[in-house]
Structure 1
Amino acid sequence: MTKQDIHQQFIRQLENELDAITSAAKSSFSTATSEAHHAEGKYDTFSLETSYLARGQARRVEELRQALERLQQLPLRGLAGADPVQLSALVRLQGANGEKRVLFFGSAGGGERIQVNGEDIVIVTSQSPLGRAVLGKTAGEQFTISLAGSIQVFTIMSVA
């Protein structure tokens, strides 16, 4: 699968998430503003709770919309093995313990994950610790990072 295919698969995934959360937000808003759900007493907080939920979901809709827009506008660069990790890079890492990771360096959507040919590919951004650690590095370089409370060493196997 090419980098363009991976990029498009991430875009489709964000579109699907955006559709699902938009639908949920509309439903929550409808429930929160429904006459049938107004407080019947001082201890009836259902309407208040659903309004909080609707507000949180509306924020998530906006976050996803912005992430999707930024990912759609991301120019894909044709990178060679000697190029440093930068936006749109597909980076293969290997940990000192043999663990392998594949990262797509994006402008938004950090943490999104897809599976391609049995391999997990995760979006990282420059805002994440892992993204900051790999940014600007080239194939063959090693780096150390604290992940989940433990120090880990990775080697950059390739940049494409």
Structure 2
Amino acid sequence: MNKQHFIEHLKFALETKLQEAKQAANSARADAIHEQSAAETQYDSLSIESAYLAQGQSERVDDAYRAIKAFDEICSLNSTETITVGSLLCCKNDNEQCLWYFIGPAEGGLKLVVKNTPIWIITPFSPLGKLLLSKSLDEAFEWRINSELTEFLITKIL
């Protein structure tokens, strides 16, 4: 796995998310001010609902900008002996299956596929993120998956 290649994929995914959020916000704003959204009676709430939707979509845009900034601040190519925010790591389970994770400051749950390899973004605030932080190369840990306790070995930290 090449960390630089992963970071490029991550930046592209975050930029795509930002563009989608911008388009949704612009569309919601246009709907909110459209003449057909004007209230016809005192019980007509379409314009209010459209305004709330526009506000929510604008907040998504702000969140996307904050995520991009947060990732820019932590993305480096330096590898470390212990897992920190910004680490790309491989954990092998009992079946020798390698699972890749990136400890990021935001966007927990985002999954990227780089060269047919899925990589999950986890935050240091998630249960798995808390468990992995400060672990070292070749250190083992246990994690419960589908009610089954599985042992993992950290085989790479990039």
Please give the TM-score of this superposition, normalised by the length of structure 1.
0.85
* Secondary structure, counterpart of 2:118 in structure 1: strand
Please tell me the root mean square deviation across aligned C-alpha atoms, in Å.
2.2
Aligned residue for 1:36? Answer: 36
Which residues of 2 match residues 67-146 of structure 1 at below 5 A?
A: 67-79=67-79, 83-96=81-94, 99-146=97-144
SS of residue matched to 1:123: strand
The answer to whether the aligner puts 1:51 opposite 2:51 as a matched pair is: yes
Report the 3-state secondary structure (helix = DSSP H, G, I; strand = E; otherwise coil) of the residue aligned with 2:120. Answer: strand
Residues 148 and 15 from structure 1, CA distance in 2 versus in 1: closer, same or farther, beyond 3 angstroms?
A: farther
Determine the C-alpha separation between the residues in 1 that align with 2:53 and 2:151.
Answer: 40
* Aligned residue pairs, count: 158
In structure 2, give the amino acid aligned to 1:106.
G
Indicate how the Cα distance of structure 1 residues 52 and 146 shifts in structure 2: closer, same or farther if over 3 A, else same.
farther
Cα offset for 1:18?
0.3
TM-score by length of 2: 0.86
Structure 1 residue 23 corresponds to structure 2 residue 60 = no
Does 1:61 find its partner at 2:61?
A: yes
CA distance in 2, matches of 1:112, 1:47: 33
Write the letter of the residue equivalent to 1:119: T
Unaligned 5+ segments in structure 2 are: none
Find runs of 4+ consecutive structure 1 residues off by over 4 angstroms. 146-152
The 8 Å contact of residues 68 and 109 in structure 1, kept in 2 or not, is answered as no
Kept in 2, the 8 Å contact 1:10–1:112? The answer is no
What SS does the corresponding residue of 1:85 show, helix, strand or coil?
Answer: coil
- Measured at CA, do residues 98 and 51 of structure 1 come closer, stay the same or move farther in structure 2, by a change above 3 Å? farther
Residues in 2 aligned to 1:35 and 1:135: alpha-carbon distance in whole angstroms: 53
Matched-pair contact (CA < 8 Å) for 2:7–2:75: no
Distance 1:98 1:53 in 2: 46
Unaligned runs of 5+ in 1: none
Could you say what secondary structure the match of 1:73 adopts? Answer: helix
Tell me by how many angstroms 1:153 deviates: 3.6
Cα distance in structure 2, aligned partners of 1:149 and 1:59: 36
